[in-house]
Amino acid sequence: MEYRVSAKFVLNKLPSFYAVLVDGTIANQKPDGAEIVSSMKHAKIIAPDTIEWFETCYCPSPLKHERETVYDKYLENIETELVKARGDIDGDSFWSFLENHSKTTSNTP
């Protein structure tokens, strides 16, 4: 099933979130790690501290495993909406923001 997902990100958790997204920690997680990484690469910032993305999930509770293993550690106020198909989300790239913020933060004494 396809879901349109929105969540608030926590600015001070972004560097650690980015680290596990790029070092293989999440990508190697079975069964949904690759989907999580792909989803974050396509997520858009739609409002201050708020992102939105589409994700495929077949759990009885939407994103149950994804939330327990990843999302609840780094994101807040996660909401899901069942959709028939993926559409467009207007906004800036969350991945670019995440990458830039993480680099800036890691270079700060």
Beta carbons of 50 and 93 less than 8 angstroms apart = no
* Per-residue pLDDT tens digits of the chain, which is 109 residues long: 999 999 999 999 999 999 999 999 999 999 999 999 999 999 999 999 999 999 998 888 999 999 999 999 999 999 999 999 999 999 999 999 999 998 887 554 4
pTM of the model: 0.91
Angle CA 50–52–53, to nearest 5: 155
Write out 63-102 in H/E/C secondary structure: CHHHHHHHHHHHEEEEEEEEECCCCCCCCEEHHHHHHHHH
Question: Can you tell me the distance from the alpha carbon of 3 to that of 55, in angstroms, rounded to the nearest whole number?
Answer: 5
